[in-house]
Amino acid sequence: MSTQRRLSSLSRPQLDRLLCGEGLGIVIPPFVVRVRSPIPVVADGLERLYSDHLLAPHDGAGFFDFHVAVEARRPWFRPLCVFALDDRQPFTPLAQGEAFALFEWGLNWCVTSHCHQWISLHAAVLERGGRAVVLPAPPGAGKSTLCAALMLRGWRLLSDELTLLEPGSGWVVPSPRPISLKNASIDVILERNPGCVLGPVAHDTQKGTVAHLKVLPESLARAEERALPAWVVFPRYERGAALQVQPRAKATTVVELARNSFNQHVHGRAGFEALVRLVDACDSFDLRYSELDQALAWFDALQPPSPAGVS
């Protein structure tokens, strides 16, 4: 039985002291991260959304995959914040109200820029019955809304933003972190699930209003369980549209997955062949929807792919 403490075991003064001092060591599967920040909204977000995450063993002295910070800048004028990985600051400063969102975006960048043992895809991924559905989509397509609704309906969240594919085995490695909701989708999820936990709301970001949804404990508890993809679904929300599902050809699915990959090119031919094998093992669809309940019912009815799949 693990003797590691969870973040919820820290009082707020303890959390603040760690963030302002030696850093908070926290297990964010499959990574161990040390975070520093003096900005209260970062502590707010971690306290609300990462309370069930384990603290790192030997806090402050063990191995960390990433040492990150969200630092304050120009507090006497318009308060700003910057994201730092070690001594690197890869992004332009943002308003301090966006500090927690910047932490999440910065952590995504850490993974996609440095973790080339996997092929990372810009796609949500969830699992049910041992089989995973991969949801690649551009911003504004309704991916995160659908991802949040599926998790709250009982699907296990592996990731909202990054599908981490093992190129040799074809398994997807879970990285369950808060789901990024934007604009109207925040109220949509809150109205459907009044008890869900949201983090700090960041207004006037480049993506509009952003708030993150806490991962359910069931998904976090199974963060070490990989899953094999069975479906690739390209969702698109269109106001007023009737539910429409079209099988997608395997060739165009591979092309679109490659387009949504951050590092498939790093793996060269092996990376391309890994995407081909993924698509070969999956049924692929384009899904257009406006009514969330209709879309969820369609996901619930998904059947494992036939051996021949869609040609």
For the stretch 92-117, pLDDT in tens is: 999 999 999 999 999 999 999 999 99
C-beta neighbour count of 245 within 10 angstroms: 13
Q: Mean pLDDT, to the nearest integer, of 270-280?
A: 96
Q: Are 246 and 285 in contact (CB under 8 A)?
A: yes
List beta partners, residue 202: 210
Q: What is the pTM of this model?
A: 0.93
Distance CA 161, CA 121 (A): 8
Burial of residue 14 (CB within 10 Å: 0-12, 13-18, 19+) is exposed
Q: Mean pLDDT, to the nearest integer, of 255-284?
A: 96
Distance CA 235, CA 207 (A): 19
Give the residue from 170, 147, 145 showing the smallest Cα distance to 159. Answer: 147
Q: How confident is the model at residue 261, as a pLDDT? A: 96
Burial of residue 303 (CB within 10 Å: 0-12, 13-18, 19+) is exposed
Q: Are 298 and 275 in contact (CB under 8 A)?
A: no
| Residues whose CB falls within 8 Å of the CB of residue 1, separated by 6 or more in sequence, listed in order | none
Distance CA 43, CA 12 (A): 8
For the stretch 195-246, pLDDT in tens is: 999 999 999 998 899 999 999 999 999 999 999 999 999 999 999 999 999 9
| Residues whose CB falls within 8 Å of the CB of residue 65, separated by 6 or more in sequence, listed in order | 31, 32, 33, 110
Q: Are 199 and 48 in contact (CB under 8 A)?
A: yes
**Confidence class of residue 60 from pLDDT cuts 50, 70 and 90?**
low
Task: Say whether pLDDT at 136 is over 80.
Answer: yes
